[in-house]
Chains A and B, each alone.
Chain A
Amino acid sequence: MTGHARDPGLQPERTRLAWRRTALALTVIMVLTVRLALTGDVAGALLAGVAVVGWGAALRVCWRRATGSGPSGAYGRALPLVALATAGFAMLGALLVVRGLW
């Protein structure tokens, strides 16, 4: 248990900061997606709305993990959820790019 004594809380801190950096990256993605979606029609506004809602949900997951009780090592659903949010943004972006061709 000396290992624990030599680790004055920095590992949990680094993990929390990693979650915050991920939340920032998600925000950049959301802004770029909204900019691509808004083409002045109703469908574009709806797709932009989807991006904002998805971003809000993903940010909530990141925030809970970043401010949680720390080094529980508990396996929440946070990791698969943010991965699926990222894949969702990739799919939404591909849809918007293809839509722009018409």
Chain B
Amino acid sequence: MWQAIRRWFDPRDLRSVGSTPDYRFSLANERTFLAWLRTGLALVAGGLAAAQFLPPLPLAHLREIIAVALLLLGGTVAVRAVDHWARTERAIRLGEELPASRFPAVLALSVGLGALLLVAAVLSRALGDR
């Protein structure tokens, strides 16, 4: 794992494989990375906003659980973004297939599942109040 992290920070390591592609491909890869990074930043912002703008929820610490879950998800998205960028760049340089990833599907499913759970929490509270 440390080796992978060191690789991200070492431009020479990437430059040493394959041949330099058309710069537009590298720039497109970089923009994809930035789009993922902003997705991660949006999740982090959502977590920070949940922590300070949501009223205390009926379930004990539910607000804090939502906030920490969003924050951890955001951090994971950011780290995975740089890893995917490096693997994609390597594949482009080597003329290989781009790396496939289940991560977008997993992220979409977990966000959807989280939303469903919150809908259930809100509904159960509304019905319980009657």
- Seen from chain A, the residues whose Cβ lies within 8 Å of a Cβ on chain B are 3, 7, 11-12, 14-15, 18-19, 21-22, 25-26, 28-29, 32-33, 35-36, 71-77, 79-80, 82-84, 86-87, 89-91, 93-94, 96-98, 100-101
Contacts and interface: CB of A to CB of B under 8 A. Distances in A.
A22 B8 contact: no
Interface string B40-57: 111011011101100000
A89 B76 CA distance: 12
Given A76-B11, A83-B82, A22 B64 contact: no
A75 B75 CA distance: 22
A97 B68 contact: yes
Nearest to B25: A73
Contacts of A97: 47, 51, 64, 67-68, 71
Contacts, number: 128
B44 A86 contact: yes
B17 to A, nearest CB: 11
Interface of B: 5, 8-9, 11, 14-15, 20-24, 26-28, 30-31, 33-35, 37-38, 40-42, 44-45, 47-49, 51-52, 61, 64, 67-68, 71-72, 74-75, 78-79, 81-82, 85, 89
Nearest to A3: B22
Given A73-B27, A98-B64, A93 B51 contact: yes
Contacts of A72: 23
Main SS at interface, chain B: helix
B24 A79 contact: no
B45 A18 contact: no
Given A79-B85, A93-B44, A97-B71, A12 B27 contact: yes
Contacts of A19: 34
Contacts of B20: 73
Contacts of A93: 44, 47-48, 51, 67, 71
A86 B64 contact: no
A76 B18 CA distance: 18
A79 B10 CA distance: 11
